Homo-oligomer: A and B are copies of this chain.
Amino acid sequence: MTGALLKLDGIGKIFPGGGIGLDGIGLEVGHGEFLSLLGPSGCGKTTTLRIIAGFEAPTSGRVLLDGEDITARRAFERPVNTVFQDYALFPNMNVQENIEFGLSLRRMASVERERKAKQALELVGLPDKAKARVTSLSGGQRQRVALARALVCEPQLLLLDEPLSALDASLREHMQSELKRLQKELGTAFVMVTHDQTEALSISDRIAVMNKGRIEQVATPATLYDRPASRFVASFIGTTNLISAIFQNREDTRLRFAVGSDWHPVMNVPGELSLMPGTEVTLAMRPEDIVMSEKNSPDTFMGRVASITFHGRSLRLQVRYGDSELWVDVPRDDRARSHVVEGAELSFRLRPDAMCPVLVS
């Protein structure tokens, strides 16, 4: 990507106390792209965002915007805006004043300012709240005001730090689709921090998975889900069974492995993979890719149902196989549903067309 909007080049951050916040991050964000930063708590997501916004100076590396080095620019000189996790609305101003704040600093005429603020409020669905005090708004409304305040400045790049984490499930889902819609409508590039993987998967064009101050993988949601580049990514994205296995042989496009003594799963493997028979690998199997089977064959295994939890559309089983435990999702309409009781010994297999990532390590 040469025409990238934002380019982070070897960004490192060591905090005064000596703590390592970021350890040489390289990242590119395209024009109009929606990129999510995903990772466990403390991995450096917020730090990355703060360096892009200019609140924090990196210890090493450069920040380029549209090819121009902006590392040395102060926050107020960057054409980048931020939606803060706690919204950071100015409590002494009402909704409209909050939204006009950025415009008023650009010496925009007040009529024009008002028009823009009104437009922005309509965009986020709060046209009647212009004169409301921000303290009287609910969480979801505040979040939208924060968004409008940032958007009205027409930034080239919008940064969002866990914008939805304070909302409850149904509002959250609603706001996710609102965000996505807005981003498409405006064509602005969004970089959003989240630690919720479902959110990241459903909303982003690309996701950067971070761990301990490094970027583990940057890819589209589907690639990340199907071909995690590391054990960490595999376990972080969705629920995954990570199983040690030994590669046995290749059958056309399908590979056969041996797990434990009696299970020889066969699977499609995405991408190229050349393995020597006998190599030890880790298989990442999704719970929904393990299905109940009726017959007993080499590619099935017998497991005991240790627990069942109801997940609405499906039941999640904890299945004990040998020493290990596997998560298995059974659709509620499965014909075999009546067999599924705690303690039952059942036969399972990998879904024939399942594509499972294989991690060699």
A positions within 8 Å CB-CB of B:
40-41, 138, 168-170, 173, 177, 180, 195-198, 201-203, 221-222, 225, 236-239, 286, 288, 307, 309-313, 316, 329, 331, 333, 351, 353-354
Contact = CB atoms under 8 A, between A and B. Distances in A.
Contacts of A353: 333
A40 B170 contact: yes
Contacts of A195: 168-169
A277 to B, nearest CB: 28
A201 B168 contact: no
Given A40-B170, A333-B354, A238 B313 contact: yes
Contacts of A316: 202
Contacts of A236: 170
B168 A310 contact: no
A201 B238 contact: no
Given A169-B195, A169-B198, A177-B307, 17 more contacts: A40-B168, A41-B138, A168-B196, A173-B239, A180-B309, A197-B312, A198-B311, A198-B312, A201-B310, A201-B312, A202-B309, A202-B316, A221-B310, A225-B310, A225-B312, A237-B312, A238-B313
A354 B332 CA distance: 10
Contacts of A309: 177, 180, 202-203
Nearest to A42: B138
B288 A313 contact: yes
Contacts of A239: 173
A333 B312 contact: no
Max chain B Cβ within 10 angstroms of own Cβ: one of A180, A238, A307, A333: A333
Nearest to A140: B41
Contacts of A198: 169, 311-312
Contacts of A238: 312-313
B202 A311 contact: yes
A310 B196 contact: no
A173 B40 CA distance: 14
Contacts of A222: 310
A241 to B, nearest CB: 13
Contacts of A196: 168-169
